[in-house]
Amino acid sequence: MPVPKPGSTDPSVIRNFCIIAHIDHGKSTLADRMLQQTGVVDARTMRAQYLDRMDIERERGITIKSQAVRLPYTGQDGNDYVLNMIDTPGHVDFTYEVSRSLAACEGAILLVDAAQGIEAQTLANLYLALENDLTIIPVLNKIDLPAAQPEKYAAELAHIIGCPAEDVLLVSAKTGVGVPELLEAIVHEIPAPEGNADAPARAMIFDSVYDTYRGVVTYVRVVDGHISTRERIQMMSTGAIHELLEVGVISPEPMAAAGLGVGEVGYLITGVKDVRQSRVGDTITSERKGATQPLAGYRDPKPMVFSGLYPIDGSDYPELRDALDKLKLNDAALVYEPETSAALGFGFRCGFLGLLHMEIVRERLEREAGLDLISTAPNVIYRVDLDDGTEVTVTNPSEFPTAKVARIFEPVVRSTIILPSDFVGTVMELCQQRRGTLLGMDYLSEDRVEMRYTLPLAEIVFDFFDQLKSRTRGYASLDYELSGEQESDLVKVDILLHGETVDAFSAIVHRDKAYSYGVTMAGKLKELIPRQQFEVPIQAAIGSRVIARENIRAIRKDVLAKCYGGDITRKRKLLEKQKEGKKRMKMVGRVEVPQEAFIAALSTTDAPQKK
């Protein structure tokens, strides 16, 4: 029997699945073994982390990612199958993208490190998979490790999924043990895709990547009908029509094909240059005799966290704008508009899906465009009802209305925290401090607990993850998703330096925390701002009411006592260095503030880490 070709593959031999795993739990290594054991990559060309490495290599002018790999596989029953392994983006801010990847599959491998157990984010993605009615194949990886506790964690997984512990497959992706059994389980347990081959074409976009050479590469799962190369397609959310330049599959190199049929997974190239024109979750249909009803589940990406981004060197502003424009091509969720700060100069107000998204964007701007950036403290989006019945949306503390505020609403999230039971007390305390409401708590196993909290998003974006990690010695994991908004008693705290408001330091906080924010910020600035030739008061104020105050004493002596022959060179060099330092000073009224003081005052603790 010939290997089934893309575009003419019987849906009954297709198995679409993804791997849900925490970072470091061995997803890439498992993918390597599956590439090898299905024979799609031979031993000679095999290398470690095969799929991960392709995106840096840019072979043949296309940025290949492991979004969806087609693995032809001959089962132990002698039949030929096509296994489509679909990648899921790995973190908390991209729940929506994850849900679309899952929606492209019928099954999911739940891959958990046998020495560590399940993490919060994996659990959250598992729940998403269950919501999408996916068949779950529970797998414990790294069973070859001496620290592996397969029995304990198999029981944990069984408890979570509700299956017998014996059904959990034991695998070592490193040695290959258990992988043949896993491939068989995929074939036998995951249902084949179902769809109407004769209906108008409907394909769901589950990823969309900008490539310098080819434009946007769109990854789709065909649900109904057939998509052929050279036809014209329509994006159902916008109605936009595009010419299909290429259709293909990745196996594991990109291979152009005549088309894609029901249940198949592959890529499309249309020549569009901006991922906004090819949005995750959207439905693609044929221009002629197209579908009238899109697939369910499309959502516009909505930024939830906002921050000002400013170049440290003001003359880098055009570079920052260009870098953002470029990044936008590959990031449908990033929004930004120019903003001016008295303290920081020209920059952009940027909106992100969440804190991690923000960190990723900032890191990419710094790394790929070589920019040095300052970001203001992140804030969330607030809805303010005024006395006269009008409504104001606030994404920047400077827009916060100062009078006639009737009610203020802030976004809240539903969070899941998994942690060793020893730390329950300290984490409850943290969540309480952060205005959290406990929704429930479950023991996953004897010593591991899942806690669910409702928390204001504003509290999460403000160093919550760092606090959680440090209070649990790194053992806790966190996941959250938006769950509406709540009315809160919020105020704007301004920081005044020598009587001038420093816009970059203004913050919207809960009234109960205004004082502590003011005291902390004033204290920090007192340490960070060098003494001037006059006394500089630092005040924290709500409106015109001062709630905290510090003073920077005037400098009275700034002269080197001794300057003789042997001191001159050293003294001149010191002076030249200080001159350079002066260039990095920003003037706030008459006060000279070093750039470093802004950076240090705006960094809460360390930057949030990736999960």
Question: What does the alpha-carbon distance between residue 129 and residue 107 come to, in Å, rounded to a whole number?
Answer: 8
Structure tokens at 28: 């890439």
**Type and span of the H or E element at 187:** helix 179-189
78 lies in the site for another protein, by CB under 8 A: no
The count of C-alpha atoms lying within 13 angstroms of the C-alpha of 263, restricted to the half-sphere facing its C-beta, is: 25
Structure tokens at 596: 């470093």
Member of 57, 162, 198, 564 binding another protein (CB under 8 A): 564
Pick the closer one to another protein by CB: 230 or 553: 553
147 lies in the site for another protein, by CB under 8 A: no
Q: C-beta of 535: minimal distance to another protein in Å? A: 12
Pick the closer one to another protein by CB: 393 or 578: 578
Member of 3, 255, 568, 587 binding another protein (CB under 8 A): 568
Q: C-beta of 595: minimal distance to another protein in Å? A: 16
Q: Which residue stretch of 101-109, 188-196, 375-383, 568-576 sits at the interface with another protein (rule: CB under 8 A)?
A: 568-576
Q: What are phi and psi of 472, to 5 degrees?
A: -120, 20
Q: C-beta of 119: minimal distance to another protein in Å? A: 44
Q: What are phi and psi of 115, to 5 degrees?
A: -105, -10
Question: What does the alpha-carbon distance between residue 497 and residue 499 come to, in Å, rounded to a whole number?
Answer: 5
57 lies in the site for another protein, by CB under 8 A: no
Q: Which residue stretch of 24-32, 328-336, 441-449, 564-572 sits at the interface with another protein (rule: CB under 8 A)?
A: 564-572
Q: C-beta of 346: minimal distance to another protein in Å? A: 23
DSSP assignments along 527-568, one per residue: HHSPP-SS-EEEEEEETTEEEEEEEEPPP-----S---GGGH
Q: C-beta of 311: minimal distance to another protein in Å? A: 22
Q: Which residue stretch of 4-12, 152-160, 174-182, 558-566 sits at the interface with another protein (rule: CB under 8 A)?
A: 558-566
Residues 361 to 420 in contact with another protein, rule: CB under 8 A: none
56 lies in the site for another protein, by CB under 8 A: no
Pick the closer one to another protein by CB: 439 or 575: 575
What are the residues facing 261 on neighbouring strands? none
Q: C-beta of 599: minimal distance to another protein in Å? A: 23
Closest CA to 608 of 460, 457, 466, 456: 466
Structure tokens at 315: 């003359």
515 vs 519, 542, 545, 592, CA distance in Å?
A: 6, 9, 11, 26
Member of 56, 296, 403, 561 binding another protein (CB under 8 A): 561
Q: Are 122 and 110 in contact (CB under 8 A)?
A: yes
Member of 46, 438, 563, 587 binding another protein (CB under 8 A): 563
Residues 570 to 609 in contact with another protein, rule: CB under 8 A: 571-572, 575-576, 578-579, 582
DSSP assignments along 215-232, one per residue: EEEEEEEEEES-EETT-E
Member of 241, 255, 438, 555 binding another protein (CB under 8 A): 555
Q: C-beta of 558: minimal distance to another protein in Å? A: 4
Helix, strand or coil, per DSSP, at residue 476: coil
527 lies in the site for another protein, by CB under 8 A: no
Burial bucket for residue 318 (CB in 10 Å: 0-12, 13-18, 19+): exposed
Residue 412 CB contacts under 8 Å (≥ 6 apart), including other chains? 454, 455, 456, 457, 482, 483, 484, 485, 486
Locus of tokens 């809160």: 488
Q: What are phi and psi of 522, to 5 degrees?
A: -65, -40
Q: C-beta of 309: minimal distance to another protein in Å? A: 29
Residues 534 to 553 in contact with another protein, rule: CB under 8 A: 553
Pick the closer one to another protein by CB: 60 or 572: 572
Q: Are 348 and 602 in contact (CB under 8 A)?
A: no
Binding mask 480-519 for another protein (x = CB under 8 A): ----------------------------------------
255 lies in the site for another protein, by CB under 8 A: no
Q: C-beta of 572: minimal distance to another protein in Å? A: 6
296 lies in the site for another protein, by CB under 8 A: no
Q: Which residue stretch of 10-18, 113-121, 194-202, 567-575 sits at the interface with another protein (rule: CB under 8 A)?
A: 567-575
Q: What are phi and psi of 403, to 5 degrees?
A: -140, 165
How many residues bind another protein (CB under 8 A)? The answer is 23
Give the footprint of another protein on this chain (CB under 8 A). 533, 553, 555-566, 568-569, 571-572, 575-576, 578-579, 582
